[in-house]
């Protein structure tokens, strides 16, 4: 079983704007609101592959107006979730698009009480995957994910981490079974300025020696470097992508890798599928993702052993 956790879910408000002209008020051309969160994105992609993970969110299960709206949006999609926290509101994020550019603004979130954590701990069994994704809400202990990696690892679960900042630094010190981050997030967590994936490959021996035996680091059009023990590769797509703001491509990459693992594919096949899935979302957006498109793009994934 795959358990997907995001402690900081969000209501994502997307606005397409026409700028004010000659002192007049600007116009909202299009507005859309969606239930957001990295675990939810991964669940969306896996659902289209026929895989039903269990999703756990930090808040959203009570009577707060943001909770009610969030659950209603999930119901429209045929998705469900378990909630670990109590009364903290669901945060709002805003994506603004106009003629010249796109920008995203994220709220830091609200501190959680995690009163239902025992339910998660009991639900995760030996051999399951526990996938911890997204930033921790403001005020939360940055060592939380690291503590969970150790606790669930002792139960025999495979721990997967996709976060950033100090929470990532602490999580990597706890030695997760697998981690997926982008190059900027890894540079920030390791306090090392790494210019590109070629420079990153030089650090692989040190990572293996430190006990980080299984991971992936992505860097946009450069592709991704993945490794599992003594197997390592650099995979990239030859498909051109012109999107000005790619939201969810990293989540699709992670979902593709999980799908490969679930299907017992080889390491290199998992890497190809992960990169293909991320490329599809970069081309179409989260809602436009189709597994058939990822399959069709596999032949455009260039892979080099390291």
> Mind listing the domains of the chain with CATH numbers?
1-15+29-176 (3.40.1190.20), 180-306 (3.40.1190.20)
Residue 91, strand partner residues: 10
Higher pLDDT: 62 or 102? It is: 62
pLDDT tens for 83-92 read: 998 899 999 9
Band (pLDDT 50/70/90 cuts) for residue 239 is confident
pLDDT of 82 strictly over 90: yes
pLDDT tens for 243-302 read: 544 678 999 999 999 999 999 999 999 999 999 999 999 888 888 899 999 999 999 999
pTM here?
A: 0.92
Using CA atoms, how far residue 25 sits from 22, 94, 102, 129, in Å, is 9, 20, 20, 50
Q: What is the pLDDT of residue 242?
A: 61
- Kindly state the tokens that stand for 142: 């940055």
Measured CA to CA, the distance from residue 214 to residue 179 in angstroms comes to 7
Mean pLDDT of the 25-38 span: 92
Measured CA to CA, the distance from residue 293 to residue 254 in angstroms comes to 16
Mean pLDDT of the 123-150 span: 96
Mean pLDDT of all residues in the chain? 93
pLDDT of 80 strictly over 50: yes
């Amino acid at each position: 079983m795959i358990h997907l956790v995001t402690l900081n879910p969000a209501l994502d408000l997307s606005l397409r704007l026409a700028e004010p002209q000659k002192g007049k008020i600007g116009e909202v051309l299009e507005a859309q609101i969606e239930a957001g969160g990295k675990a939810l994105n991964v669940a969306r992609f896996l659902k289209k592959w026929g895989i039903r993970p269990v999703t756990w969110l930090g808040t959203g299960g009570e009577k707060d107006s943001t909770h009610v709206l969030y659950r209603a949006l999930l119901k429209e999609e045929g998705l469900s979730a378990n909630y670990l926290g109590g009364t903290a509101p669901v945060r709002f994020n805003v994506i603004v698009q106009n003629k010249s550019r796109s920008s995203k603004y994220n709220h830091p979130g609200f501190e959680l009480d995690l009163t239902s954590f025992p339910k998660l701990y009991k639900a995760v069994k030996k051999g399951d995957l526990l996938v911890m994704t997204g930033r921790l809400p403001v005020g939360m202990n940055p060592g939380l994910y690291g503590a969970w990696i150790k606790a669930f690892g002792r139960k025999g679960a495979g721990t997967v981490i996709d976060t950033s900042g100090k929470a990532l630094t602490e999580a990597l010190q706890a030695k997760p079974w697998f981690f997926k981050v982008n190059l900027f997030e890894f540079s920030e967590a390791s306090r090392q300025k790494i210019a590109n994936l070629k420079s990153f490959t030089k650090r692989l021996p040190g990572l293996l020696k430190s006990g980080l035996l299984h991971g992936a680091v992505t860097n946009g059009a450069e592709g991704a470097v993945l490794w599992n023990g003594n197997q390592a590769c650099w995979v990239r797509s030859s498909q051109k992508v012109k999107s000005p703001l790619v939201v969810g491509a990293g989540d699709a990459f992670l979902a593709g890798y999980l799908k490969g693992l679930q299907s017992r594919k080889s390491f290199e096949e998992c890497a190809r599928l992960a990169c293909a899935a991320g490329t599809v979302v970069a081309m179409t957006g989260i809602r436009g993702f189709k597994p058939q498109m990822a399959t069709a793009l596999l032949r455009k994934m260039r892979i080099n052993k390291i």
